[in-house]
């Protein structure tokens, strides 16, 4: 039966990519082995990561939505019709005429799965790059049997049930005549070999789970949600098969001052009304250090000033983005008598202090509108 990967993340089928990402982050944050030492939490973390991998890959999600399991090589899974689990019309004919046995046993050694682990980074780490040590809990090669699965000094033997073919056949008579069908050998699981004395450390799997620390180089300019691929650092396959890849997904923590949009950074500064009117030089702390920002006389609230090449590096091109400074002009809410007097004098000099005439004009306008409605 296929795993309900939507249910693992607490979502309904058809959930959006944003909902999948948000649910995974929440669960991974609570279940990660570095945070939650409970063994059940570790298994749950692996289930959640596997579900996230299935639902963020378009092809795997298509298989899930069709009711299959993208990690299952059997019928209905990733090896569904036309895949590894069911070859199509040829396999049907083989089942009737006995040709399936020609496929032979399958190898005990299979490739391992990819692994996915989140890592949280500060804004300056994603902008300038960093070297990060992360703890990974995956399957690694068993150092006792080096993947063979057998106890020291012993070897695998030919399966007596299928004589090493990996399949067993049965013959039935029906209205079409004699029908020969083949199925995977239940004793050796199709490998053609059995292990009389399994390795005591890995129980015959050829791999064991291990926690290790890996140093990851985070390139400058990575963004939230991007994945860094580490080839060969994923799960070692059964029978000591080649390891899959490890994907490190970047989660950028919110910054108290700057917000990011692509390679550009944004921040807000508040200026007194007088500084905006007269102009000033503002000392601004950026990710690169302190910078002097010239505020021109007459700067209006809502103006955007640009500090070029003070944003994040471009990953696929040269240069950096910009730092966009959004200006907010602050109007004083409380004035003492002297300050109010000076502002009134300034307003008079600029011809802006005409409250009586304004009131008269407004009164005259309102009177005319009232008279018009009253038919006068």
Residue ranges at the known binding site: 142, 145, 159, 162, 185, 188, 199, 202
Residue ranges at the known binding site for Zn(2+): 142, 145, 159, 162, 185, 188, 199, 202
Q: What is the pLDDT, as a whole number, of residue 371?
A: 53
- Domain 1-86, what fold? Helix Hairpins (1.10.287)
Residue with tokens 């919110």: 254
Q: What is the pLDDT, as a whole number, of residue 29?
A: 80
Start and end residues for every CATH 2.60.260.20 domain found in the chain: 259-330
- Say yes or no: domain 259-330 is CATH 3.40.640.10: no
Start and end residues for every CATH 1.10.287.110 domain found in the chain: 1-86
Give CA–CA dist 188/197, Å, rounded. 14
Q: What is the pLDDT, as a whole number, of residue 154?
A: 94
Phi, psi of 320 (to 5 degrees): -130, 160
Q: What is the pLDDT, as a whole number, of residue 1?
A: 58
Residue with tokens 């399958």: 106
Per 3-state DSSP, the chain is made up of helix, strand and coil in percentages (nearest 5) of 30, 30, 45
Q: What is the pLDDT, as a whole number, of residue 2?
A: 67
Give CA–CA dist 306/48, Å, rounded. 43
Task: Per residue of the chain (376 residues), give pLDDT as tens.
Answer: 568 888 889 898 888 988 898 888 888 888 877 677 777 778 888 888 888 888 988 888 888 887 778 876 544 444 443 333 333 444 444 444 444 434 668 888 888 999 999 999 999 999 999 999 999 999 999 999 999 999 999 999 999 999 999 999 887 776 556 677 788 999 998 999 999 999 999 999 999 999 999 999 999 999 999 999 999 999 999 998 999 999 999 999 999 999 999 999 999 999 999 999 999 999 999 999 999 999 999 999 999 999 999 999 998 888 999 999 999 999 988 889 998 899 888 889 888 865 554 544 444 544 544 454 444 5
Give CA–CA dist 108/189, Å, rounded. 9
């Amino acid at each position: 039966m296929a795993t309900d990967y939507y249910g693992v993340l607490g979502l309904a089928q058809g959930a959006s990519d944003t909902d999948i990402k948000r649910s995974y982050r929440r669960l991974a944050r609570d279940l990660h082995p570095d945070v939650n030492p409970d063994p059940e939490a570790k298994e749950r973390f692996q289930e959640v990561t596997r579900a996230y991998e299935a639902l963020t890959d378009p092809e795997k999600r298509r298989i899930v939505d069709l009711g299959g399991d993208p990690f299952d090589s059997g019928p209905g899974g990733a090896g569904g019709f036309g895949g590894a689990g069911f070859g199509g019309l040829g396999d049907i004919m083989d089942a009737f005429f006995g040709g399936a046995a020609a496929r032979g046993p399958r190898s005990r050694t299979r490739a391992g799965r990819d692994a996915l682990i989140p890592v949280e980074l500060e804004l300056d780490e994603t902008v300038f790059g960093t070297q990060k040590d992360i703890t990974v809990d995956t399957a690694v090669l068993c150092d006792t049997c080096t993947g063979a699965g057998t106890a020291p000094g012993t070897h695998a033997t030919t399966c007596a049930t299928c004589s090493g073919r990996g399949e067993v056949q049965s013959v039935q008579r029906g209205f079409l005549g004699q029908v020969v069908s083949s199925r995977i050998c239940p004793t050796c699981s199709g490998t053609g070999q059995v292990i009389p004395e399994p390795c005591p450390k890995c129980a015959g799997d050829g791999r064991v789970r291990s926690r290790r620390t890996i140093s990851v180089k985070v390139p400058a300019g990575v963004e939230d949600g991007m994945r860094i691929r580490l080839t060969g650092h994923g799960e070692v396959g059964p029978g000591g098969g080649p390891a899959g890849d490890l994907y490190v997904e970047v989660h950028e923590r919110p910054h108290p001052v700057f917000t990011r949009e692509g390679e550009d950074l944004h921040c807000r500064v508040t200026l007194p009304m007088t500084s905006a009117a007269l102009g000033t030089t503002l000392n601004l702390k950026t990710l690169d250090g302190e910078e002097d920002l010239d505020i021109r006389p007459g700067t209006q609230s809502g103006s955007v000033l640009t500090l070029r090449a003070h944003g994040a590096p471009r990953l696929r091109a040269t240069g950096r983005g910009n730092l966009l400074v959004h200006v907010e002009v602050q109007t004083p809410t409380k004035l003492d008598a002297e300050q109010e007097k000076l502002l009134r004098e300034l307003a008079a000099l600029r011809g802006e202090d005409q409250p009586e005439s304004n009131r008269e004009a407004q009164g005259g306008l309102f009177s005319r509108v009232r008279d018009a409605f009253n038919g006068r």
